A = this chain, B = another copy of it.
Amino acid sequence: MVRGRISRLSVRDVRFPTSLGGHGSDAMHTDPDYSAAYVVIETDAEDGLKGCGITFTLGKGTEVVVCAVNALAHHVLNKDLKDIVGDFRGFYRQLANDGQLRWIGPEKGVVHLATAAILNAVWDLWAKQEGKPVWKLLVDMDPRTLVSCIDFRYITDVLTEEDALEILQKGQVGKKEREEQMLAQGYPAYTTSCAWLGYSDDMLKQLCTQALKDGWTRFKVKVGADLQDDERRCRLIRDVIGPEKTLMMDANQRWDVPEAVEWMSKLAKFKPLWIEEPTSPDDILGHATISKALVPLGIGVATGEQFLFAPMLVEWASVNWCST
């Protein structure tokens, strides 16, 4: 049972100088300082529990997100936690649809990132009060409660509340076994940490070799700045990981549509599972065109952390984040 009234929200601008080592670098973000707006919420309950939530940033501009979190804080302060979690969809909509604030970005950009940090903090507090990690809170949740947390408003073309409920209800079968399997074997994940764009070939080789030893079977490589570099780097990685392991590629929005198709045709020989963010995240039809063009090459298209629909899922994904 959740308890307490939100009595305090604080937010910090936390930065790490990752650009110094080229960590996190890609074709569009060449010098990122992986950073975060870090939100902590507290209640007046006597358990002393705090909810912590972050939203990821690349350094500059974190102060803008911090500013937006403070602008949204009044929607959280003095609320009973049980009222929030009792109508999570309504709480989300209140944050995302503030009559004045929504103008500067309804469900996008800075306001959306700030909303995510706050929602993450609420999920964290909720889970802590229930005495479990967030994933377990979600797994144990009644399907009807779970779908009631999601805002389906703009995604009904793709997924309705009824469909989602049906999927979750069917998923109850075998759930316990899957949970045990996950606890025993871990959750499937891939690593991006070996192949940032700013890494030297030596570093790439060394990190991929180590990751392979550590048991990784899926690897992501950043591409899109220079085709010759990409070919050399992909060959190097395939040489280390072999032909059977999975390789993904990520262009981080670098190309236009014809460029994406042409470039990936050249990289197809390295058997990528998918190309992530080949073009502008706003160009939905462009993604469809690229996707169709790459089908004959056996390459899929993935979108990135920035997508337009299902904003709730963005927050969930960031709670359960495995790798960038």
Contact = CB atoms under 8 A, between A and B. Distances in A.
A139 interface: no
Nearest to A37: B104
A57 B282 contact: no
A61 B28 contact: no
A108 B110 CA distance: 9
A63 interface: yes
Given A110-B68, A110-B105, A282-B108, A61 B100 contact: yes
A108 B107 contact: no
A221 B307 CA distance: 32
A58 B59 CA distance: 27
Contacts of A31: 99-100
Given A100-B29, A100-B31, A286-B157, A64 B71 contact: yes
Contacts of A153: 256, 280
A285 B101 CA distance: 25
A256 B155 CA distance: 10
A183 to B, nearest CB: 34
How many copies of this chain sit in the oligomeric assembly?
2
Contact of A109 (B105, B257, B308): B105
A106 interface: yes
A286 B157 CA distance: 9
A315 interface: no
Contacts of A68: 61, 64, 110
B256 A154 contact: yes
Nearest to A62: B104
Interface residues of A, number: 53
Interface string A17-55: 000000000001111110000000000000000000000
A63 B58 contact: no
B106 A253 contact: yes
A102 interface: yes
A198 to B, nearest CB: 11
A30 B157 contact: no
Nearest to A289: B157
B284 A103 contact: no
A16 interface: no
A41 B29 CA distance: 28
A67 interface: yes
Contact of A29 (B60, B102, B111, B256): B102
Interface of A: 28-33, 56-61, 63-65, 67-68, 71, 97-113, 153-154, 156-157, 253, 256-257, 279-286, 306, 308-309
7 smallest CB-CB distances across A and B, nearest first, come from: A109-B109, A105-B109, A60-B100, A110-B110, A58-B103, A59-B100, A58-B100
Given A105-B110, A106-B280, 5 more contacts: A29-B100, A33-B100, A104-B109, A106-B253, A110-B110
